Structure 1
């Protein structure tokens, strides 16, 4: 190995520091014990809030998980998706990927209110949303992972950014992967985080193009299993009025967080085009097969990818604020 002189070493070290600072995942101020002394009951409060919401509607677990994902992909995990529109900005709630589909705002409001009673002006809405996503997975039978906390809330939101940055189920896999890599994630994270579709439902409008006139061929998507195709055509008849009808992302165990999502892909039963596309690439297909065979591998990797995603573009220290109300800037 060639020796490095002091100037080269200094230059290399500086380059590393610059890369670290500029990285969308740089989050040196997040801490696994951030609220241990300032809000020791935080996890219990969030868990109870999610549990109560799921008692009213099991589907809410998937909605909260999706809300966290859509928040992090638009300018970082800063709670911006929770902001209502103002005179100074048009927020993310009515962007294409969120309009009439993003849900759970009232649940976050209720949890925030309880957190404020226990620990006033201490816990960010961004951290509450991050914790709620973890609890949603755990309470539906999935893995539990430790979370570094200390995010602060953003003071603005962007409908334009939400329209541009959130991956769409109608996009090719290469486009989706590019959006992930732009956030400091990789192909593995695409495959792992897509496994969140083991719970929840999708509107017919997000996959109906597969059922009748796929790619303008006049025929259904040939990768769609015949039995599932028949069921979906019944749920989503070829009329615009069916666009808001719902189908389970995983019809086998719709309300249980498990690895059956991957089994469905192997059996050509992925609901969304973006899901089934994971079997069309050799690298992603190999990962799908592994997660199909080894559920604990999926659980382990899912927690790791969620931590990784939860560090995208976070605000810490004196940046941002701790909102009193998640819907409005202080």
Structure 2
């Protein structure tokens, strides 16, 4: 009986390992960490080199590149549609509300693509570049690493409406945010873990102003926000004006990827409403916030798993899509 149980456990472990190393998409293609092993073995090194230099120049870029991957995957899957500029019948997602004057780092992606094209012309997709840059940015900020599954291809279209409707907003209700995750195949654990990316990066005043002055539309602030912290925010985020002023989402360690984000939530010092509701609207999310606040390694482990899962949202593989020469435009 013991031998049988051991054999079952070994089979289970082997199956899990295969699942992590290869992921099949709905169109029959495969994602694999070794996808470019022969066609462009230096691809990951090139991406890492450019990202490292970019983050050294501007530490904030780590959060920006991580966010690009997130905003791309939530709109028609991880297909680099976010990178397309308006033109040739395409309305860019860059002008949608969640991205306009907010999504940034596109020039770094251009630098990466240019370097990769010189080494391996029309081989590495922009979608894979986003996935690799997100991982490398996280590591450079002190966060966890993970094996990136590769083999995505780039879309030939964008979805302006999808960007407006599918990307979770900082003022959404908890149920709306959860629905945004579940409709792309992510669950409540992924929601909490991936929200932890707010441990780095900045938010604009307009993203949380209503919490300071008019949370319920009655001219009253959000009293679930620590009022001493709220007073600090008001000094740079006035009732009128200052909408584009930037604030570190994690005031404790703004440039370090760690679990202080979750500690801030428990102390009622989460800047965004979408973060604070993780502790006030659902028992399961509150429990996860408490676990991650107490155990940084547990947070890192789940964040890495959830990033792999997010990176596998509806990828274009096989003969679908294309490998763009320029990430900003479809091939002609």
1:152·1:314 contact (CA, 8 Å) conserved in 2? yes
1:26·1:313 contact (CA, 8 Å) conserved in 2? no
Compared CA separation, residues 27 and 237, structure 1 to 2 (3 A): farther
Tell me if 1:143 matches 2:144: yes
Tell me if 1:315 matches 2:319: no
Q: Deviations over 1:142-181 (max 9, x none)?
A: 0000011000000000111111111111110100100100
1:24·1:184 contact (CA, 8 Å) conserved in 2? no
Tell me if 1:117 matches 2:118: yes
Q: Deviations over 1:82-139 (max 9, x none)?
A: 0001131212010111011110100000001001111111100000011000000000
Query: Could you tell me how far 1:198 is from its partner in structure 2?
Result: 0.2
Residue 257 of structure 2 corresponds to: 257
Question: Hey, what's the Cα distance between the residues in 1 that align with 2:27 and 2:146?
Answer: 20
2:236·2:245 contact (CA, 8 Å) conserved in 1? yes
Question: Hey, what's the Cα distance between the residues in 2 that align with 1:27 and 1:184?
Answer: 18
Question: Hey, what's the Cα distance between the residues in 1 that align with 2:247 and 2:129?
Answer: 28
Any gaps of 5 or more consecutive residues in structure 2?
1-23
Question: Hey, what's the Cα distance between the residues in 2 that align with 1:289 and 1:26?
Answer: 39
Compared CA separation, residues 306 and 142, structure 1 to 2 (3 A): same
Question: Hey, what's the Cα distance between the residues in 2 that align with 1:145 and 1:26?
Answer: 25
Question: Hey, what's the Cα distance between the residues in 2 that align with 1:47 and 1:26?
Answer: 29
Question: Hey, what's the Cα distance between the residues in 1 that align with 2:209 and 2:297?
Answer: 33
Residue 245 of structure 1 corresponds to: 245
Query: Could you tell me how far 1:226 is from its partner in structure 2?
Result: 2.0
Residue 230 of structure 1 corresponds to: 231
Question: Hey, what's the Cα distance between the residues in 2 that align with 1:178 and 1:25?
Answer: 21
Any gaps of 5 or more consecutive residues in structure 1?
1-22
Provide the secondary structure at the position in 1 that maps to 2:203: strand
Query: Could you tell me how far 1:36 is from its partner in structure 2?
Result: 1.2
Q: TM-score, normalised by structure 1?
A: 0.91
Provide the secondary structure at the position in 2 that maps to 1:153: coil
Q: Deviations over 1:170-204 (max 9, x none)?
A: 11010010010000111111101000000000000
Query: Could you tell me how far 1:217 is from its partner in structure 2?
Result: 3.2
1:25·1:184 contact (CA, 8 Å) conserved in 2? no
Tell me if 1:92 matches 2:88: no
Q: TM-score, normalised by structure 2?
A: 0.90
2:28·2:318 contact (CA, 8 Å) conserved in 1? no
Provide the secondary structure at the position in 2 that maps to 1:113: helix
Q: Deviations over 1:262-303 (max 9, x none)?
A: 000011010100000000111100000000011111001001
Provide the secondary structure at the position in 1 that maps to 2:181: helix
Provide the secondary structure at the position in 1 that maps to 2:216: helix
Alignment of 1:150-299 (within 5 A): 150-239=151-240, 241-280=241-280, 281-299=282-300
Question: Hey, what's the Cα distance between the residues in 2 that align with 1:24 and 1:169?
Answer: 30
**Deviation beyond 4 Å, 4+ runs, structure 1:** 23-28
Compared CA separation, residues 289 and 28, structure 1 to 2 (3 A): farther
Provide the secondary structure at the position in 2 that maps to 1:93: helix
Residue 19 of structure 1 corresponds to: none
Query: Could you tell me how far 1:24 is from its partner in structure 2?
Result: 7.9
Compared CA separation, residues 25 and 251, structure 1 to 2 (3 A): farther
Provide the secondary structure at the position in 1 that maps to 2:95: coil
Residue 16 of structure 1 corresponds to: none
Once the two structures are overlaid, the 10-residue window that deviates more, 75-84 or 87-96, is 87-96
2:193·2:303 contact (CA, 8 Å) conserved in 1? yes
Question: Hey, what's the Cα distance between the residues in 2 that align with 1:306 and 1:28?
Answer: 20
2:27·2:317 contact (CA, 8 Å) conserved in 1? no
Query: Could you tell me how far 1:43 is from its partner in structure 2?
Result: 1.5
1:199·1:254 contact (CA, 8 Å) conserved in 2? yes
Compared CA separation, residues 42 and 105, structure 1 to 2 (3 A): same
Query: Could you tell me how far 1:208 is from its partner in structure 2?
Result: 0.5
Question: Hey, what's the Cα distance between the residues in 2 that align with 1:25 and 1:233?
Answer: 48
Aligned residues: 307
